[in-house]
Structures are given as C-alpha cells and as structure tokens.
Amino acid sequence: MKTIIEHIGEVVSKAFEECGYDASYAKITISNRPDLCEYQCNGAMAAAKAYKKAPFMIADEVVEKLSGSSMFEKIESVKPGFININISAGYLADFVNSMSEKEKFGYEPEVTNKTVIVDYGGANAAKPLHVGHLRSAVIGESVKRIQKYAGNNVIGDVHLGDWGLQMGLIIEELRDRKPELPYFDENYTGEYPAEPPFTISELEEIYPTASAKSKDDEAFLARAHEATLKLQSGDKACTAIWHHIMNVSKADLKKNYDNLNVHFDLWKGESDAQPYIPDMIQSMIDSGLAYESQGATVVDIQEDTDTKELPPCIIRKSDGAALYATSDLATLVEREKMYHPDSYIYLADKRQELHFTQVFRVAKKAGIVKPDADMTFLGFGTMNGNDGKPFKTRSGGVMRLENLIADIQDAVYGKITENRTMDQAEARDTARIVGLAALKYGDLSNQASKDYVFDVERFTSFEGNTGPYILYTIVRIKSILAKYAAEGGKTDNLKLLPPVSASEKNLELALVKYLDVMEAAYMDKAPHKICQYIYEISNVFNGFYHDTKILAEQDKERKESYISLISLTKDILLSCIDLLGIECPERM
C-alpha cells in the first residue's frame, strides 16, 4: 500500500509536469511547521535555478493547477516559493479506513523473503547475565522482530561464549573441590554420570573463584591452560564436564532470556565453529591471503579508501591458538554452509567496531561470503548510572540482570499499589509486565549507538516518554472499548467519518505515518523510531480523548466512527510494542 505522502506526491508531480517542470521537484514531506500546514513541498525553490524563474512564480503555477482537487483542504503558495498543503478530511478518513482493512495496516516492503541472521545475546556459559547483556538482548530482539514483520526469514542466534580458558578454569577448580569425581580418575573407563556435578548456583560461584585464583597461582593457571587444550583436543573427561557446564548454563540462560521476552532460534556457540577453523586458515594461507607476521598468522584489511590505518586481522596467534576473529570467521563458514543467508546483522558494544570491520573484510577477501554480502554491525552505547559511568550496584559491582529486572518491577509494584485497588497477585503480574516495558522502552527509545542514563524513577513514571505511559494509553483505550461493548455497541465493520475536530484529525494524521515509520525502522534497523512514533500516537490520542466525549456522543454514526478510530489506534500501538518485545496488561 502506498503511503499518503506517495499519493500526494503523485498528484503534485503531475501538476509540476503539466506546468512544464520536471516531476522530481515535487517531493512531499511532513511539514516542519505544523502550525502552518500538514505537508509541504519545497521543490519550486530548487526548480527556480534550473528554469531561471522566481520560485514563487513556479509555486503559484503548481498551486493554481491543483486548486479544486478533492485531495486538499488547503493548498497555497507562500513566498519565497513554498507550497503548503492541508489534506482534506474526507480523503484522510478514506485513507485511514483503507489502512484498517489491510493486513499489517497496508505495510508492504518492496524487498522481502530474504534470509537474515541476527547475531545477538553474546552471553558467556557458566556466568550469569548482567546489565552489560541488556542492550544486545533487547535491541537484537526488536531488530529481529522488525525484520520478520517485513517478511524476511530471520534466524536469531545467541552465539554463546562457550570455548576457551574459562572452561579450563572451571574444570580445574572443580578438580580441586571434588577430586573424587570420576572425571579426574585417569583409570576410570565407565560411563560418566548423566547428572551434573554442580548446580547453577555452584557453577556461577566456581568461575569467579577460579578466575581470581589464576591471577595469583601460576601453577593453577598452567593447569587451566592444559585442561583447555585437552578439551579442545577432544579429551573424553573434559568434554563430559563441558557438556554439564553447557546444559546447566543454557537452562539458566534460557530462563533469564525468557523473563526478558527475548527468544533465540539457535543456541550456537564458539565451540560449533571450531571444526571449520583448520581448513579455513589453511585455505587463506594457500591462497596467499594470510601470511606470517612475528610468528602470528594475519590478513591485511587496509583499503585505499580508508582515511586511517587499520591493523591486520590476526587469525592465529604465534602459539597456534585461535582468537575471537578466528571463531567469528569460522562461524560465518558454518552459517554459509547451513543457512545461505542474504544478510547478517551483528549486535555488540560499539567499541567492537574494529573487530567487526576486520571480520567482515577478511570474510569477503577470503570468499567466505560474497564480495557484496550485506553485513551490518549495529554497535550500541553504554547504559550508565546517574553519575554518567557504566551502571553498577551500590557496592560498585556489576549488577545481575535478574536483580535489575526485580528492582524495576518492585518500583512499578509500589506505584500500582499506592494509587490503585488491585489484589496482590494481579498487582505483581501487572508490575512484571509494566516493569519489563519500562526497562525495555527506556533502552530502546534511545538511538542504539548512544549512551544513556538508566533512571528507575524516570523509566517507571506513568507520565512522559516512558513504557508505562505507552501501556497506560493502550489500557485506557481497552477500557473505553470494553465499556462500549458492555453497553451493546457493535464493533464490526465500523467506518471512520471525516474528522470534525482538530484533535481527531491530528490523531488520524499520526496514524497514517505508520507505513513510513515501519519502512524507516526496517531499513535503518532502528527500534527507536518506533518508540518515537508510539509516543507521538499516545500523546495525540490522549489529546483527542480529553477533547472528545467518546461514549457520551449522541450521534450513533459519529460515535461508531470514534470507536473505529480508537480501535485502530489500539491495534497499531499493540503491533508496535510487539515489535519492541513489549506486552500489555489488561489494566493498570
């Protein structure tokens, strides 16, 4: 479905052509002066140079050609050459009615059905999720949902950190704690136990203890390196412990991601890429792409168009060990073999930009992906405390994500029980939903690349640009519709009448932006644009609500028109928050 701007543009383009000017000058935009008009065309200003004519004369001609069109309530030429446009109430109502009848409200991206891999999450096995994992999870989940909504086949991969020294450290710490386990008996020949030798709580305590010990105990560190090498060489005992680590970790990680309403299609990790590494490196060496430098194997990535020097990508250290870049490249080998994706989207801290520049360029140079492969790195900023520094606990430590979620839900619970009558069970469930909305909206409403301050009081407010405010608006609409239904009002096959008040028209003008907003959010991979939109919708709806006696309206057709309008408003808001990974309670 064409956007309303495209429809206006077609009509104005024809007028430009009929007046003897190129149609390309008839670009229509939303007015940057809504006090003067709703849409505008500034093409006469540019056309003036090409046609050596005063811009107001060109604008006057075009406006004269368009006078009398039923599409416009007002179209006027304003010196020095602007064309100001107000859409007619009847045309606007017809367009909104058309949106309400179509799937996805008429949103139809031009290019769809691509296979897209979204790499987000990035959790580490044997470690709890902490606040540093929040942004990747919630931005990645939203980007994935937007891609799916646009009609693509999207594969979300958590890409776990599950390989390397951390595993050796855990194995050796477990040996020190429980030397009697069969994994540490060199003469043991039976089957290893099916049950893990630790709980998730014990596992999460084992790793930091082992990590701290390795900094002071060189012998222990050496043992950990040896255990890591044995694991990576396929040692049966180390592999059995590793499987226990992964099973226990994944179960806990899935639970925590589920609590965030974040879900992955694949639970792959760095370990899955390991079998591809030897052949991949050898192929780069054989082709002359990779070479030895100070004992390491590297690939140059510098290009003539670069404005600054970029270091070579190390794909194998001097001791033969692989690096993150090696693992990421091998993961691409696996993904190309298994999924044949058309596009890749990676979510990570923006400070990893160089790493992904290196990986993408090596992948293309080595022929792992096509030279023109669509590979995007979405780097996000830092979540900071009120002091402007990365968010910490009061004691200065890194906060567990589940504790952060609990804190914000408690804050919402306090506000719900303070002002509303609701039983405890419902209040807790509502606080869970609204608290998660506060957390996710507080993050997603910021442009991903920007740092932002995490402020519990502001994020949980029921006023202003917050998740609770958006949800409260939806719940308000649900309440009106429920009362209307209880009074016997029909809700099927309702049609909008042309708006009669400024606030009614403003709401319809906001709704018709949906198609443009969805396309921008999809093309730019930008959830914050959806947040901006639903905040605008919420504001103009509440303006309409305060100006209009919806249920008290005596004219039956007008009342049904109001119900149709707010029903569509609710549906669009619900569609948008779903793309953000946010749910809505029945009441607040």
pLDDT score for 92: 98
Starting at the edge strand found earlier in the chain, the sheet holding 296-299 runs: 290-293, 296-299, 313-316
CA distance 412 to 438: 9
Contact predicate 40/85, CB 8 Å: yes
Residue 351 has pLDDT above 80, yes or no: yes
Phi, psi of 487 (to 5 degrees): -85, 0
Above 80 in pLDDT, residue 76? Answer: yes
**Residue 53 DSSP code:** S
Tokens standing for 152? 């693509």
DSSP 231-273: HHTT-HHHHHHHHHHHHHHHHHHHHHHHHTT---SB--BHHHH
Which SS3 state, helix, strand or coil, does residue 86 take?
A: strand
Instruction: Tell me phi and psi for residue 87, to 5 degrees.
Output: -75, 150
Token look-up 């804190």 returns 407
Q: How far apart are the first and last CA of the chain?
A: 35
Which residue bears the tokens 């020095």? 80
Crossing angle, helix 527-547 and helix 424-444, to 10 degrees?
120
Domains by residue range for the chain, with CATH? 4-87 (3.30.1360.70), 165-259 (no CATH), 271-380 (3.40.50.620), 401-579 (1.10.730.10)
The span from the CA of 528 to the CA of 142, in Å, is 10
DSSP state of 452: E
Q: Which of 174-188, 412-426, 453-467, 490-504 has the lowest mean pLDDT?
A: 412-426
Percent of the chain at pLDDT > 90 equals 91
Phi-psi region of 202 (alpha: psi -120 to 50; beta: other; left: phi over 0): alpha
pLDDT in tens, 272-326: 999 999 999 999 999 999 999 999 999 999 999 999 999 999 999 998 888 999 9
539: Cβ contacts below 8 Å, ≥ 6 apart = none
- C-alpha to C-alpha distance for 305 and 325, rounded to whole angstroms: 23
